[in-house]
């Protein structure tokens, strides 16, 4: 810490090492085979001490990957809205969420643990996801294509519950059907011609 009490910025090489460790760990965990932290350090070309300085535990490394990918997932909402109408954008975003939690088991477990816990990070993660969903809901409300009484938090909690309820193997098809049901529930009802009494 400097004499003014402000934390010193991370050195450029330390920042690069952290980014490289995250990239190597993401690839290793995505392989589906058990991987040691020593192997991740070797793949990155740094010593195990460097890895532990950035990530004291395996859980800390997994959580850092999860946070980075969560940021990317949430940022996708705006890009999807630029390319699709709000209902399509919401369904596409749900698919991205589903792909994320079903294809990255180690980070998916971290996601489930963090969102299900009572610690501050759970609130931050949920708020981040809700902000992304709310942007799509607001666009859908403005165009009259999504219901105006749907809460973003309800959608996020439902998505996490759906993932928890489906099996890691073979559950992606079921999850897709459940997402279709959720979309049916949040679309604005079609306004057909009024029937005579």
Q: 97 and 112 in contact (C-beta within 8 Å)? A: no
pLDDT at 76: 94
pLDDT at 82: 96
pLDDT at 10: 56
pLDDT at 193: 40
10-56 in CATH: which number? 1.10.10
pLDDT at 196: 41
Assigned CATH class of 59-186:
mainly alpha
pLDDT at 195: 42
3-state SS track over the chain: CCCCCCCCCCCHHHHHHHHHHHHHHHHHHHCCCCCCHHHHHHHHCCCHHHHHHHCCCHHHHHHHHHHHHHHHHHHHHHHHHHHCCHHHHHHHHHHHHHHHHHHCHHHHHHHHHHHHCCCHHHHHHHHHHHHHHHHHHHHHHHHCCECCCCCHHHHHHHHHHHHHHCCCCCCHHHHHHHHHHHHHHHECCCCCCCCCC
Q: Is the pTM of this model over 0.75?
A: no
Residue ranges per structural domain of the chain: 10-56, 59-186
* Ranges under pLDDT 50 in the chain: 1-3, 9, 118, 120, 191-197
pLDDT at 66: 77
Q: Shortest CA distance to 133 belongs to which of 114, 107, 152?
A: 152
């Amino acid at each position: 810490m400097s004499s003014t009490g402000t934390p010193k910025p991370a050195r450029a090489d330390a920042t690069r090492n952290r980014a490289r460790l995250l990239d190597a760990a993401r690839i290793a965990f995505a392989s589906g085979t058990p991987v040691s932290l020593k192997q991740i350090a070797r793949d990155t070309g740094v010593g195990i001490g460097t890895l532990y300085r950035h990530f004291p535990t395996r859980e800390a490394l997994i959580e850092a990957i999860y946070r980075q990918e969560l940021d990317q997932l949430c940022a996708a909402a705006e890009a999807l809205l630029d390319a699709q109408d709000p209902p399509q954008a919401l369904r596409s975003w749900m698919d991205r969420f589903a792909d994320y939690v079903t294809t990255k088991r180690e980070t998916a477990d971290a996601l489930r643990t963090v969102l299900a816990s009572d610690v501050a990070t759970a609130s931050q993660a949920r708020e981040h996801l809700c902000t992304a969903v709310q942007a799509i809901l607001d666009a859908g409300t403005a165009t009259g294509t999504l219901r105006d009484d749907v809460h973003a938090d309800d959608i996020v909690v439902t998505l996490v519950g759906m993932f928890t309820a489906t099996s890691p193997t073979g559950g992606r098809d079921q999850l897709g059907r459940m997402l279709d049901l959720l979309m049916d529930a949040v679309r604005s009802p079609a306004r057909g011609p009024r029937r005579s009494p």
